[in-house]
Every structure is written in structure tokens, then in C-alpha cells.
Amino acid sequence: MNEELLKARIAIAIGNIMADGQIENNELQAAHSTIDKDFADIDEATVSSIWAAEIDSFGNALKNGSIDDYLSKACEVIKANDKAGSVMVDLVLISAGDGDMADDEFQYAYKIAEMLGYSEEEFLHILLLAFETALGKDENYYACRQPLARALFAIAIGAVCADGKVEDDELQAAYLVVAADALIEDVPHVVLKQIWDTEVQKFIKTEDMEKYLKDAADFLVKVDQTKEALKKVTFVIASDGELADEEVGYLCKVGELMGKTDDEVVAIAKEAIQEIVGNKSSASSSTKKSGGCYVATCVYGSYDCPEVWTLRRFRDNTLAATWYGRLFIKTYYAVSPTLVKWFGHTEWFKNMWKPTLERMVKDLQSKGVEDTPYDDKMWR
């Protein structure tokens, strides 16, 4: 049975390695070191033979269109041996050396969890435990942050959708702001994003909005995070430094659910707005000195490099040539310094933006935009 279990864990690991369509040697080596140590009673030659056979079997299953059956059989062996937790640790160790997982790897892990019989909530719980094991964190380091993330997200989603509209761009901006909370910012990005998406769907489908918000408010009271939650909501809905009457109304409603008076809520909101105004002032000063491109500079590590030179030329020669392009630039400069300040130290933020910037740079260069040293134009 040990060899059957080894085959099953290898099969699932190979699927993870192939989630992006190719086998990387470093991932294959990580899979070997992760799995082989648990089967020291099987001689090395046999282990190597099983690896080679399973790689062939996986390839054949792909060609035959029977990959789901192949993985399902492996999951049955895993369940029979009560090793589901070990498999999740395998997947994290193989693909999350930087503390996070790519989206395709996360979706693969989710698929395996469903085959193992886990619900979404159970999957997230066991995945967080796997991250703790893989990254050497204390027990429940991540898992205890999950309900806090859900509560913060629920309040923020309610703020964004208070006008009855669900706008994807506003939701994405709100997610970035709330995910920067100091108590949840180091939770793996793919897990936070899944929790966010789940809460958005809960918000849309709920028939008792009062209860939905009250449950979130009660938890925030329990963990003494009411002030921070209200400040985060203010950051979400007052990015321009101002609050409309209906936005003040929402804040007061949530504050009441937390046991706060309107005066207390308004005082917290004013404190948050002062931070927003301060960040904007800093952004304006920094923009005059450097010309901007904050996210690109964060991703590429320098304001003076070929990729950023290309983007700066596009900004000055194309975007700045129209009124709506200049409006976009000014809006970008008002928001991006804060995002970089909050998220610039995290790998997931850089990984999220780099593919988009790479495609943009490649497209611009194909159209003749140069990547040589460049001095900014003073178009403002």
C-alpha cells in the first residue's frame, strides 16, 4: 500500500507542476524532496522508477482526455490512507516557496480539494494550515486571520455596493485597500482573494443585509478591530478625500451595529480622511520630483530601466496628449503611491502587476516606443 500511496501523491504533485502547462526542473526537484522523504522505507531505485512511470501516465492521461479520472483515482487512494492534509502541504511546498501561489496553482489545489471531498471553507482552512506547516508558522497563525478577513471584507463590500450597484473596478480597488490591513496582509494573496470573491457572492445573494453586516460587526467588536474597520471603509469610499451624505450614512449604520455613536464614527472618518489627504500631498510632492510610474518602478526595481523608460515615453507622448489621458495620469498619481506604500513590499503585489506591465511594454515596443534612457517631459 505504501507504493500505491506514493504513486497517488506523485500523481497529484505532477498535476500541480503542470498547472501552467509545463514542467519546471526546480518544481520537480521540490516535489521530489517534499514527497520522497516520507517514503524512506522504499528503496531509491523503486522511488525513481515510480516517478518516471507516473510522469508517463500523467502525459498519457492528458493525451487521452482522461486526466480527471486519473487524478480522481489518486485522490481515492489519498482518502483511504487519510493523507489529505499531507497532499495540501505537498502542493504548498512545491509551488509556494515565496509564501504565495499562482492563480493556476491555486485553482488546481481547489480542484484536488473538491475531489477529496472538501467544501470551499474546509479547503481554505486546510490550505492555510498547509501554508503554516510549509512556511514554519505557528499553528493557526493564518487560520485565525480568516474570520477577520471575512468580516473586514463584508463591511467594505457593503460600502462599495451601498448604492445598489456592483462595479468590478470599485470592488477591485476596495479589495486592494482592505487587504493591506496589518493583521491580514501576510495571508497568502490567493487565499485572501478567494475569501473576497466568496464574500462578494454572499453579499449579492443575501436576503437579510442587516444580519450579514451585523455578523461582521459583532466579530470586529469581539476582536477589538472596530476603529480600524471603520477607517478602512473610509479609505475605500473616500479616496478623493471627501464623503457624500449616503456614505456618511453607511458608516454611521455600521458604527451603530458596532455600538458606536454617530459622533464617534464621524471622528474616526475624519481621522482617516486626514491620512488620505496626507498621502495625496506626499504623492503630489513625490510626483514633481520623480515623474511617477510608481507601480512599474516597484515591479522592476528602478525608475531608470528599459521597461520603465518605455512606459514613461508612452505616458508623456501618448497619454499626456489628450485631456482624458491627463486625467488618467493625475488619478493614477493620486492612488498608486498609497498602493505601493501599503503593498510594494509584498511579492503577490509585484506578481499581480508584472504580467500586465510585461504585455504592455512588449506591445508598446513592438509599435516603436523606445526603451533607451529618457528624461521626463514637464507636461503638467
Residue 324, burial from CB neighbour count under 10 angstroms (0-12, 13-18, 19+): exposed
Task: Give the model confidence (pLDDT) of 127-136 as tens digits.
Answer: 888 888 777 8
pLDDT digits (tens, 9 = 90+) for 186-232: 788 788 888 998 999 999 899 999 999 999 999 999 999 999 999 88
For residues 146 and 128, is the Cβ–Cβ distance under 8 A?
yes
The predicted pLDDT at position 285 comes to 47
Tell me, what's the pLDDT at 9? 92
Whether the per-residue pLDDT at 26 is higher than 80: the answer is: no
* C-alpha–C-alpha distance, residues 122 and 114, integer Å: 10
Amino acid at 344: G
**pLDDT band with cut points at 50, 70 and 90 for residue 241:** low
The pLDDT assigned to 95 comes to: 73
Judge whether residue 311 has pLDDT over 70.
Answer: yes
Assign 43 to helix, strand or coil. Answer: coil
Grid coordinates representing 170 are 470599485
Pair 293, 306: CB distance under 8 Å: no
| The residue to which cell 477589538 is assigned | 224
Residue 276: pLDDT band (50, 70, 90) is low
| Position 315, amino acid | R
